[in-house]
Amino acid sequence: MKRHIGNIYEVNFTEPCCDGQNIQYVLAVTDTDDSGDIDCYAIKFTSSVDKNLIALPPNTLPFDATIDIRRKYLLREFYIVKEICTISRESLENVLKEIIFKEIGNYYEAIHGNLRTEEFKENITKINYAGRIFDKHEMVNVIDASLEFYLTASRYDKAFCNKLSEFLHNKAMRVLTANSGSSANLLAVTALTSNKLGELRLKKGDEVITAAAGFPTTITPIIQNNLVPVFVDIALSTYNIDPNLIEDAITEKTKAIFISHTLGIPFDIEHIAAIAQKHGLWLIEDNCDALGAEYSLAKEYKLIAGKTISGNLKTGTFGHIGTSSFYPAHHITMGEGGAVYTSDDNLYKIMLSLRDWGRDCWCEPGSDNTCGRRFQWNMGDLPHGYDHKYIYSHLGYNLKITEMQAAIGCAQLDKLPAFVESRRKNWLTLHEELKDLENFFILPSYPENALPSPFGFALTVRENAGFTRKELTSFLEKNLIQTRTIFAGNMLKQPAFINGDFQYKVYGNLKNTDIVMDNTFWVGVYPGINKEMLNFMINKIRQFVSEHG
């Protein structure tokens, strides 16, 4: 059977087509089906292009022409006058993709588009604490990546890393994707134990300062690397580590600080940077809750390993390593996914090695001999010249993402500035409308030299409020307002720590951590929460307080 796909034909329809147009040339995009039909698109005599008009390569026809993907027809072979030419595979791919992308846009509008404008109905519409926000661009990107079928991280991954580096406003930042924020934390901590850091490496039994309140995978990589977490209490209202307690918790075994910007509120970077400089400590920022937050330093600080920080920077770029999560609840999503970023080339190569099975080679997928010495290395007890692609300098993992995840991430990054602005606006609205309830709640706050990128809005029920957190959150949940605690609360009260066989230390008491565990909750501020939802949340909190306070 003759192939038609990719052929341009001169045709002679006996009468105008259904849209009243006389068609002279068409592009076939299928072969003949069982009914004898060939799918084709009209060719338009114009050099103008838009989302519906795809330019043919120069000299394809003796005149400027475009494929009009709005005008699709069924062609029978007896309408063909003659075959003009066959377009290149690249051109055919471009046309077919644009046709598919247009249909994806139609699908999005039909199935998902109405959800954006769906009317909020009290006690019917659920107000989630978080959720993914997307449009046709994420869907187009993921299909585009699927059509190429490269599957493992490739051009979209590279584009994502470059775009995230640009968003962080730091060209020196090198971004490496991982399959989750938890994996990103694991890479960050494990990197500090690498032999490639020489005397600066963390060794078994070294201590790492961290907060007792937070998410478990900020802490577990410390333990998994045979290091000792030293738990310090937090400050109420910011829910970040209390910087005034850190210095007294430092011993000769202390080598690093690893803490998060809780719920998108930057921790006191000025104070902590000064401590890290004074004591020669590594600093890792768990930035999973705070992508887009900013902080302004009053002074310049020189940290170990040549790291210098000053001025106004995005969170995640002050420390030696920053980490992000792209789980659907976070500021942007890939479904699953995460990233580490650093301005230190040595740390970047170490984390790349750890992420990619522990191998010493840093060639990108599909590339060979980037170092120019592939068969000239002499490492370990291997034969001289052993293939560098199969030399392993670390006990690594496979923590890579897929190309489809990166494709979604690229579209999400384009929306990130608007997402952050929406979160700030919602957070400020809640704060303004609930500030007269401070007799009942500790309201959240942030340092005056910081600009948060809120993940949620936290409230701590005061001891004499007249009601408990459980009573209030149960009331809110019954009214379809989702609530969450500050993650694990006091990690030391969790079964994994009670039953765990590992070493840790506690500095002082954890009074505020326990208060948060017992009395703190938070509600969402993500961009899917509109003004009507905010007002409903505010009114329900006020209603409960008036009835029970």
Torsional class of 39: left (φ above 0), alpha (ψ -120 to 50), beta (otherwise): beta
Find out whether 394 and 353 touch, Cβ atoms under 8 Å: yes
Geometric angle at alpha carbon 418, from 409 and 312, rounded to 5°: 95
> Euclidean distance between the first and final Cα of the chain, in Å?
81
d(Cα 377, Cα 196) in Å, to the nearest integer? 16
Q: List 322's β-bridge partners, or say none.
A: 285, 341
DSSP-assigned letter for residue 22: P
Query: What single string gives the DSSP state of each residue in 95-152?
Result: HHHHHHHHHHHHHIIIIIIHHHTPPP-TTTS-B-S------HHHHHHHHHHHHHT--B
Return the residue matching tokens 């002050």: 318
d(Cα 86, Cα 79) in Å, to the nearest integer? 18
Find out whether 444 and 486 touch, Cβ atoms under 8 Å: no
Alpha-helical (H) ranges within 356-451 are 403-434
d(Cα 329, Cα 300) in Å, to the nearest integer? 34
Of the listed 330, 331, 388, 394, which one is catalytic?
A: 330
Question: CB burial class (10 A; 0-12, 13-18, 19+) of residue 267?
Answer: buried
DSSP-assigned letter for residue 492: G
| CB neighbourhood size of 513 (10 A) | 27
How are strands ordered across the β-sheet holding 294-296?
Answer: 312-314, 294-296, 450-451
The answer to whether 330 is a known catalytic residue is yes
For residue 544, give every residue at least 6 positions away whose Cβ sits within 8 Å of its Cβ, in sequence order, or none: 467, 472, 475, 476
Residues labelled catalytic: 330
